[in-house]
Structure 1
Amino acid sequence: MRNLLMKVNYDGTHYDGFQTQPQGNTIQDKLEHAILHLTGETLKITGSGRTDAGVHAYGQPFNFITSSQIPLERWCLALNARLPQDIVVTEAWEVPLSFHSRRGAKRKTYRYTINGNRFPDPFQRRWQHHHPMRLDIPAMEQGLAGLLGTHDYTSFASRKSTKTSHVRTIFEARLEVDRSMCRPGSSDQGVIHTYITGSGFLQHMVRIIMGTLMQVGQGKISADRIPVILAACDRAAAGPTAVSKGLALWSVEYDENEN
């Protein structure tokens, strides 16, 4: 038996998230079906975590135990030939049988993308939240800094969260603005990428953070209120949940001796 660790990129537009659902329209379902078609094995893969419906991923890890002797270098091409074009496996390794892609994850980074230009980009429309009204980016950066550290993030978790503890750690958070597509002399603000790295994330946590930060950017909430919202431990204290299409799982990190 072998434990194989792989990474998958996907456009989540047409899927109900990563984790399997009864209707079978998830990334996990498509991957397991492709493995069955390739090896004849009916198995369950373990993902590094869940993503919401419509959320994307760049290199999401998953692992599974297989008795197949297919050489490592053939797995990616073989699976991709059996997957929809919006799901692509990019890397494969053999790891110890004890490796678990979810329990072993130490740091996860998500990226949320806002197109702040006057007009949407038709080529990026499925991966960006278009918000043409002026945003106060320095205020958003100040609000984001107020979320760093180890806290109870109940205010930024879905009311449907089933986790026994909402304590998590946000290690790093930053905004980057790409102005390469701004029209000279226009009101275009550029494409605003927000990167948030944490020990783990609650259901809808990043999207609620972003919905709240956009209200900060619009002047509806003061950046100074973010620590107060955090301390309230009340979902009603925070802003709305931002749309899913702007969110992507960016990276997952493990200890060097984990794989």
Structure 2
Amino acid sequence: MRNLCMKVSYDGTHYNGFQTQPDGRTIQDQLEKAIKMLSDEDVKIIASGRTDAGVHAYGQVFNFLTQSHIPVERWPMALNTRLPDDIVVREAIEVPELFHARYSAKQKTYRYTVNANQFIDVFQRHTQFHHHGKLNIEAMQRAIKHFIGTYDFTSFASRRSTKTSHIRTLFDAYMVVDKSMCRSSTYDQGVIHTYVTGSGFLQHMVRIMMGTLLEVGEGKKSPDDITAIIAAEDRSKAGPTAVSKGLILWDVEYNDFPKKTF
């Protein structure tokens, strides 16, 4: 029995999230179907984490056990010919039997993208949240630093969260503003990419953080309010949950294999 680990990118626009659901089309369903077509095996893949409906991934990681003798380097191309165009397996390696895509993960990075230009980018409309109003980006950049550290993030967790503990550690959080598509003499502010890296994340955590940061940008909250919102451990104190389409699972890091591969 071999344990294969793969990295997959997908556009989640037309899927009901990653994890198999009885009433919806999911990324997991498509991957397992492709594996069945290739190796004639019924497998259950293990992912580094779930992504909600409409959420995307650039570097989602999953693993599964197989008895197939197909060389590991041939799996990505073979699976991609059997997958929809909006799902692409980018890498594959063989890992130790005890490797687990979720439990072996060291840290994850999410990226949330806000288009702060006056008009929507028609080519990126499925992966960006368009905010045409004026934002105080400098205030948002000050606010996001308050998230770095180990805290109880109950204020930034879905009310439906079933986790016994909401304590999480964020190692880094920052914004990059791309002004390459800004038009001169307009209200364009650029495309804001927010990166958040942590040991783990709660349901809707990054999206609620973004909804709160957008309120800071709109002047509804101050940057220093973030500290009090975290301390409150009360979901009602934070901002709204930002729309799903702006969120991408950007990267997952492990200690178990070479950096040059994953």
- For the criterion TM > 0.5, the same-fold answer is yes
| Matching of residue 161 in structure 1 with residue 161 in structure 2 | yes
CA distance in 1, matches of 2:222, 2:145: 13
Matched ranges for 1:52-131 at <5 A:
52-131=52-131
| Root-mean-square deviation over aligned CA pairs | 1.1
Alignment size in residue pairs: 259
| Matching of residue 182 in structure 1 with residue 200 in structure 2 | no
Structure 1 runs (4+) greater than 2 angstroms displaced: 256-259
CA distance in 2, matches of 1:33, 1:23: 16
- In the other structure, the counterpart of 2:138 is 138
Q: For each residue in 1:107-153, what CA deviation from the matched residue of structure 2 results, as whole angstroms up to 9, or x when unmatched?
A: 10000000000000000000000001111111111111111100000
* AA matched with 2:27: I
* AA matched with 2:36: L
Q: Secondary structure of 1:223's match?
A: coil
* TM-score calculated relative to the size of structure 1: 0.98
* TM-score calculated relative to the size of structure 2: 0.97
CA distance in 2, matches of 1:81, 1:59: 19
- In the other structure, the counterpart of 1:203 is 203
Q: Which runs of 5+ in 2 are unaligned?
A: none
Displacement after TM superposition at 1:222 (Å):
1.1
Q: Percent identity?
A: 66
Q: Which runs of 5+ in 1 are unaligned?
A: none
* AA matched with 1:93: I
CA distance in 2, matches of 1:88, 1:257: 21
**Between 75-84 and 18-27, the greater mean CA deviation after superposition:** 18-27
Displacement after TM superposition at 1:257 (Å):
5.5
Contact kept in structure 1, 2:15 and 2:24, CA below 8 Å:
no
CA distance in 2, matches of 1:93, 1:201: 26
CA distance in 1, matches of 2:74, 2:2: 15
Q: Secondary structure of 1:172's match?
A: strand
CA distance in 2, matches of 1:69, 1:222: 58
